[in-house]
Amino acid sequence: MKLGEAFGIEVDVLQSEWGKRVNVEDVENKLSEKSYKAVTITHGDTSTGVVADLDALVPVIKKHGALVILDGVVATAAIEEDMSKCFGHPDYKIDIVLTGSQKAIGVPPGLAVVAFNQSALEVRKQLGRIPAYYTDINNWIPIMNDPSKYFATPPVNLIYAYAEGMRLVLEEGLENRYIRHSAYGKAVRASLAEYGMKALADEGVAASTLSCILYPEGVDDAAFRGALAEKGVILAGSLAHLAGKAFRIGHMGNTTEQMLEKAIELIGQTLNEMGHKANTERAVELFKEAMYANV
Ligand SMILES: *Cc1c(COP(=O)(O)O)cnc(C)c1O
């Protein structure tokens, strides 16, 4: 919203309750009220661990003639976002995907990755002059056609890292990656539930790449995450009204099953050290069961 306003774009925000999806009927109603040029969707919501339902949202947005702009940051390369997929009509497609190198692609931060389809490029052309230069897709098309025309100093080390990240993604195969992440999400949440740690999002809407987990009664957030960090497991705090009440655990990119299993074990160990009762063995068992159930 702040970004849009900075560029003089009128923005309306449809926010769901934390941990829930945005209601598709609310989107439909908004789009019927007035004309919108574009709708942005956060594919995986980093604050809550909720995944958007593209199959429901894309057709509604496209029916009203708006562009679908997808923030794929915590999803791209782990959750399907196929730009060639038709959502119930040959013209109903995801128009733009924006992502970063540092999350599910597993490459150091610093690269913004963008993809436009033909309709989105057409809309850009019709806009004429826009208040952007480096972020104007029009300036990048000649460079994509001939990289030697790059008009600034490219971050070559990051581009090499990205190429290697992409090589790993393609070697594993997108489909396998989607399945692996889905199993990770289920296994992490099932095992943490054994510790009385409940995911904010219901399983049916939970993202496979990251989970927001509510603390059981009496666990001190800073002490818990601090002790775990000393053991080598970094969990993120939660934001806004969930700060101190929940933590966020990433299970994306080139994370391995062994790393996650170890993290589950260390979380249990830490809880026990802090005087809470945690059945570490059972949690690890549940982790493996859920991993296995998904194969
Ligand atoms: C991390 C994240 C961002 C922000 O990415 P930066 O590169 O840190 O600006 C945006 N959207 C989502 C969904 C994210 O998970």
How would you write the chain as a 3-class SS string? Answer: CHHHHHCCCCCCCCCCCCCCCCCHHHHHHHHHHCCCCEEEEECEECCCCEECCHHHHHHHHHHCCCEEEEECCCCCCCCCCCCCCCCCCCCCCCCEEEEECCCCCCCCCCCEEEEECHHHHHHHHHHCCCCCCCCCHHHHHHHHHCHHHCCCCCCHHHHHHHHHHHHHHHHHCHHHHHHHHHHHHHHHHHHHHHCCCEECCCHHHECCCEEEEECCCCCCHHHHHHHHHHCCCCCEECCHHHCCCEEEEECCCCCCHHHHHHHHHHHHHHHHHCCCCCCHHHHHHHHHHHHHHCC
Q: Are 155 and 222 part of one and the same domain?
A: no
The verdict on 112 and 246 lying in the same domain is no
Q: Which residue out of 46, 48, 162 has the highest number of ligand 1 atoms within 8 Å of its CB and is therefore the one to mutate?
A: 46
Separation of CA 98 and ligand 1 centre (Å)? 10
Tell me the per-residue pLDDT of 36-94, one tens digit each, with 9 for 90 and over: 999 999 999 999 999 999 999 999 999 999 999 999 999 999 999 999 999 999 999 99
pTM: 0.95
Q: Is 115 in the same domain as 67?
A: yes
Q: How far is the CA of 80 from the centre of ligand 1 (A)?
A: 17
Count: domains in the chain: 2
Q: Residue 100: CB within 6 Å of ligand 1?
A: yes
| Atom 4 (ligand 1) nearest CA | 73
Whether 106 and 197 map to the same domain: the answer is no
196 and 140 in a common domain: no
Distance from the alpha carbon of residue 101 to the mean position of ligand 1, in angstroms: 10
Examine the fold and report which residue of 135, 152, 170 is the final residue of a domain before the chain moves on.
170
Ligand 1: atom nearest CA of 74 is: 15
CATH of the domain at 80: 3.40.640.10
Q: Closest residue (by CA) to atom 3 of ligand 1?
A: 73
Q: Is 76 in the pocket of ligand 1 (CB under 6 A)?
A: no
For 204-216, how does the pLDDT look when each residue is reduced to its tens digit (9 = 90+)? Answer: 999 999 999 999 9
Nearest residue (CA) to ligand 1, atom 9: 100
Q: What is the pLDDT of residue 153?
A: 87
Residue 225 sits in a domain of what CATH number?
A: 3.90.1150.10
Res. 291 pLDDT band, cuts 50 70 90: very high
* Among protein residues, the one whose CA lies closest to atom 11 of ligand 1: 73
Nearest ligand 1 atom to alpha carbon 72: 13
42 pocket-lining for ligand 1 (C-beta < 6 Å): yes
pLDDT over 70 (residue 295): no
Verify that 179 and 165 share a domain, yes or no. Answer: no
Pocket flag, ligand 1, residue 46 (CB < 6 Å): yes
Its domain, for residue 141, covers 2-170
pLDDT digits (tens, 9 = 90+) for 120-168: 999 999 999 999 999 999 999 999 999 888 888 889 999 999 999 999 9
Tell me what pLDDT residue 294 has: 53
Q: Chain-wide mean pLDDT for the chain? A: 96
154 & 210 share domain: no
Q: Are residues 257 and 189 in the same domain?
A: yes
Pair 140, 217 in one domain: no
> Which of 145, 170, 195 is where one domain is finished?
170
pLDDT of 199 higher than 70: yes
Q: Do 131 and 200 fall into the same domain?
A: no
Q: Whose CA is nearest to atom 10 of ligand 1?
A: 73
Residue where a domain terminates, one of 147, 170, 193: 170
Same domain, 70 and 13: yes
**Ligand 1 atom at minimal distance to the Cα of residue 44:** 13
Cα(158) to centroid of ligand 1, in Å?
17
Higher-scoring residue by pLDDT: 4, 121: 121
* Whole-number pLDDT of residue 152: 82
> Ligand 1: which of 45, 69, 74, 98 to mutate, judged by most atoms within 8 Å of the beta carbon?
74
Q: Are residues 135 and 26 in the same domain?
A: yes
